[in-house]
Structure 1
Amino acid sequence: MSRTLAPFAFLAAASLFAGSATAQETTSYSLEKTADGYVRMNNKTGEMSICHEKLGQLVCKVAAEERTLYEEDIADLKARVAKLEDTVAGIGKLPPVVRDNLPSDEDFEKGLSYMEKFMRRFMGLAKELDGENKDAPSNPAVPQKT
């Protein structure tokens, strides 16, 4: 009796397996709900799409496209960072033409001394003018200009 049932059991299992394979072939996509929307998978190719509901319709974008855009953005940012790093590294290195034409410490101190004298005289003149304005009688009809 067990020998006669074995072929039937095998046929039943095979038909169940074939039935599930047929169901997968007829269903092209699987849809899973996520926190942000849905993930749609093509059962034949395995391609994934990210879907969102907009105005009562399901709008899907292929995840590979988003990944490509993401990788392109990263490549662009890496190139920009490399360019900035080269620029920053180049700032520390003055070309010989500029480096050789910089003033000596003595010349720099001399120039700074001239600027200091200029500023002291200028501030002295400003104080004198301010003192003259305080001593002059104030005329309300003439606005003060400073």
Structure 2
Amino acid sequence: MMRPLLLTLTLLPSLALAQEAETQRFQLERTENGLVRLDRQTGAVSLCQEANGTLSCRMAADERTAYEQELDLLEKRVSALEERLAEAQTGDLPGEAEIEQSLSIMERFMRRFMEIIQEFTNEREQQEPAPNRT
């Protein structure tokens, strides 16, 4: 019973701070033609009009241009990445000769590795005394 109360008392201040930070993100200033909204996190400025009890905001012209330029840049990057991905997927796969060569190298490696293990095993057996059989 005490823990839920303690948890609630601990979380309430942090929830209040989070809500306060969110409500303070935007700042509205009245102008002759409506309102200007400042986003304190991004610095973006929007022009707002009040009609029929609702507030509708639009980006400023220079902000809109910067936004569209960023979108164009991102579209170009996505297109370039899609092209690279398509090229990588249709790239040349190894032919039969290359596969055989790779398998031959792996086989030689495995045979040599097994020989080394056998050498170590033989050396160990020679170094260990024979077990007593009674």
Specify the TM-score bucket, using the shorter chain as the normaliser: 0.3 to 0.5
Q: TM-score, normalised by structure 2?
A: 0.45
Larger Rg: 1
